Amino acid sequence: MSVLRNLESKLTDLVEGTFGRVFRSAVRPVELARKLTKEMEEHKRVSVSRTYVPNEYVVWLSPEDRERHEGAENEIIGELAAYLLEHARRERLAMVSRPHIEFRTDKRLSLGQFGIQARMVRPESAQDGGEREPVQGDHGHTMIYSTAERLRQPVQETGGSRAQQAILVAEGKRFVVPPDGATIGRSRECDVVLGDANVSRRHAELRGEGTGGGAYTISDLGSTNGVRVNGRAVQDGHPLQAGDRIELGTAQVLFELE
């Protein structure tokens, strides 16, 4: 129990301490910590006697978010790496080296959005010329998260069953949809930003139906090229099911539930 309290204390420190002031109105380190551990858990690799998890993480931030923590980046990365290492030890997960975290900028992301890539990389050695060798190949899909509709929740995890999480897969990325929905379009103000020129600035909107999670509808926001679900044109309030393929102009989007 003392280890659990220690982890919760670290999260609280990230929220309320020096780094919390840096991220007061945008991406917060506590959100990065939670999503990094989520990516760690979702990329497990079981061997004969151990369960391995990624040791290298790339965090993609919008230019605005990157600028907000200028001067404190190394300290933030150090805290996040220490948190990942402690989480792995608590859950008895193995890493081939200490966690390595790198921040990068993606101009396609808007304020409050961030992406995470995770992979396993063998540590540098003299035999391989000092290069970091991937164990599982190159980075896969980037999971995109948004804090635009941030849920105000305590640091401690609550019990009970977890509601299904909606995911949109588009342009090689996975976008997490907030429980009450998200707007999709080319505008930086949208929750899900797509780069396809045939997508309108505010093309469509996903709406969460009810408080239990898992029920979503999609509506056309007066787009130029329309919205199609599984090949059929839709307008307002069309229900979505896991596996549905959404077309926004020529952009292809897959709707998933986890």
Q: pLDDT for 210-226, tens place per residue?
A: 544 558 999 999 999 99
At a CB cut-off of 8 Å and minimum separation 6, what does 102 contact?
56, 57, 58, 59, 77
Strands in the chain per DSSP E = 45-46, 51-52, 56-61, 100-105, 113-119, 121-122, 133-134, 142-146, 166-170, 173-177, 181-185, 192-193, 204-208, 216-220, 227-229, 232-234, 238-240, 245-248, 251-257
CA angle, corner 249, sides to 248 and 253, nearest 5? 35
Residue 123's pLDDT band (cuts 50, 70, 90)? low
Ramachandran quadrant class, 120 (left: phi over 0; alpha: psi -120 to 50; beta: rest): beta
> How do strand 216-220 and strand 204-208 relate by DSSP bridges?
antiparallel
CA 49 to chain centre: 30
pLDDT tens digits, one per residue of 40-95: 988 888 888 889 999 999 999 989 888 887 888 998 999 899 999 988 888 889 98
Please give the model's pTM, rounded to 2 decimal places.
0.50
More confident residue, 250 or 210: 250
- Give the three-class secondary structure for 12: helix
CA 189 to chain centre: 18
156 pLDDT above the threshold of 80:
no
CA angle, corner 36, sides to 218 and 105, nearest 5? 75
